[in-house]
Amino acid sequence: PAPAGRYATLPKAELHLHIEGTLEPEAAFRMAARNGVRLPYADVEELRARYAFTDLVSFLDVYYECMAALRTEEDFAELCETYLRTAVGQGVRHVEMFFDPQAHTSRGVPVDTVIDGLLAGFARVAAREDLTGGLILCFLRDRPVAEAAETLESVRHRASDLIGVGLDSAEVGFPPSLFEGVFAAARALGLHVVAHAGEEGPVKYIEQALDLLHVERIDHGVRCMESPAMVARLRAERIPLTVCPLSNLRLGVVSDLADHPLPAMLGEDLLVTINSDDPAYFGGYVADNFAAVAGALGLDEEQLELVARNSINASFAPAGRKAQLL
């Protein structure tokens, strides 16, 4: 992608970022070695060669394999700290980061280890930088609903350490409707709610996320453009969409960045934000995504400033913090 350049100085919020998707190959091998874990690749080069993804699932296979390297509280703290230092350098002033507890508890890593590590890493950076934000716990939609419910129960005692819950992993065949009860329970805990919908899945999933899960933002949502009725609804209800251009390119949601629906979405007056999703895997952090779309789609300065402002408005930051950043 084009260098982050001047987009690195635009104050922005990152709202669609999987912290496990910031695990760079070098860090994965370093952590695996110190934890006595063997990754299923000979070296960094062999791992990078696996980054030729064809779709979401082909990426998720590698993403979950690499997580084997993460075992201790310090691993999660370092992962978070490293990402946040990069993000601050890219203009991020507020971040609501996703994490996937089931991908760790299923390997015997306690959920408290994950949360404690991520919060410790966050605190290290926030102590020195103008940075706010927190954690959004994502349920893996391709695992049993009962497991998601158990995961929510397991964090009930520390709901105040979370901003909200989300829904991620393989989308097609796993509709939001499955998680209606789990999301109702999360909302009853006072948590914010978001969900991935309309990345690879149909418009119907966006509709279910809104009507059944009562989400406050849609993650990705690019397939809304197939339905004028859905576009009209998202516009009228001011539902933010956390769009991830380089992710969409790498996972084949679009075959060329020049074909990305982002300009059309802005043209429809949708509340669009630009985010990095899994930057270690998709070739760019958030300002790199801004620069890539500026180059490939010819978005001008004014449009990108609007997108950056949208991210602050679409965040769950307190009103005072938003005012400070706008």
| Contacting positions for Zn ion (CB under 5 A) | 277
Non-local (6+) Cβ contacts of 19 within 8 A are 76, 79, 80, 83, 97, 98, 99, 118
Task: Determine, following the binding rule CB under 6 A, whether residue 278 of this chain makes contact with ligand ADE.
Answer: yes
User: Using CB distances below 5 to 8 A depending on partner kind, what does residue 199 bind out of ligand ADE, Zn ion, none?
Assistant: ligand ADE
| Whole-angstrom distance, CA of residue 310 vs CA of residue 235 | 13
Is the Cβ–Cβ distance between 223 and 207 less than 8 Å? no
Q: Is residue 100 annotated as involved in ligand binding?
A: no
User: Using CB distances below 5 to 8 A depending on partner kind, what does residue 56 bind out of Zn ion, ligand ADE, none?
Assistant: ligand ADE
Of 14, 73, 171, 199, the active-site residue reads: 199
User: What's the CA angle centered on 91, arms 74 and 221, to 5 degrees?
Assistant: 85
Task: Determine, following the binding rule CB under 6 A, whether residue 168 of this chain makes contact with ligand ADE.
Answer: yes
From candidates 93, 104, 196, 217, binder to ligand ADE by CB under 6 A? 196
Task: Determine, following the binding rule CB under 6 A, whether residue 247 of this chain makes contact with ligand ADE.
Answer: yes
Task: Determine, following the binding rule CB under 6 A, whether residue 208 of this chain makes contact with ligand ADE.
Answer: no
Q: Which amino acid is at 230?
A: M
Site for ligand ADE in 53-92 (CB under 6 A): 56, 63
Task: Determine, following the binding rule CB under 6 A, whether residue 277 of this chain makes contact with ligand ADE.
Answer: yes
Phi and psi angles of residue 3, each rounded to the nearest 5 degrees, phi first: -65, 150
Helices (H), the chain: 25-35, 44-49, 56-66, 73-89, 102-105, 111-126, 145-154, 180-188, 203-211, 228-236, 245-250, 262-267, 279-282, 286-297, 301-314, 319-325
Catalytic, 147? Answer no
Quote the least distance from Cβ 21 to Zn ion, whole Å.
7
Quote the least distance from Cβ 319 to ligand ADE, whole Å.
30
Q: Is residue 300 annotated as involved in ligand binding?
A: no
| Whole-angstrom distance, CA of residue 218 vs CA of residue 39 | 33
For ligand ADE, how many residues bind (rule: CB under 6 A)? 11
From candidates 132, 169, 275, 310, binder to ligand ADE by CB under 6 A? 169
Helix axes 25-35, 73-89, angle to 10 degrees: 160
Quote the least distance from Cβ 241 to ligand ADE, whole Å.
13
Q: Is residue 256 annotated as involved in ligand binding?
A: no
Q: Pairing mode, if any, of strands 12-14 and 132-140?
A: unpaired
User: Using CB distances below 5 to 8 A depending on partner kind, what does residue 169 bind out of ligand ADE, Zn ion, none?
Assistant: ligand ADE
Known binding residues: 16, 18, 196, 277-278
What residues are annotated to the active site? 199
Positions in the binding site for ligand ADE (CB under 6 A): 18, 21, 56, 63, 168-169, 196, 199, 247, 277-278
Known binding residues for substrate: 278
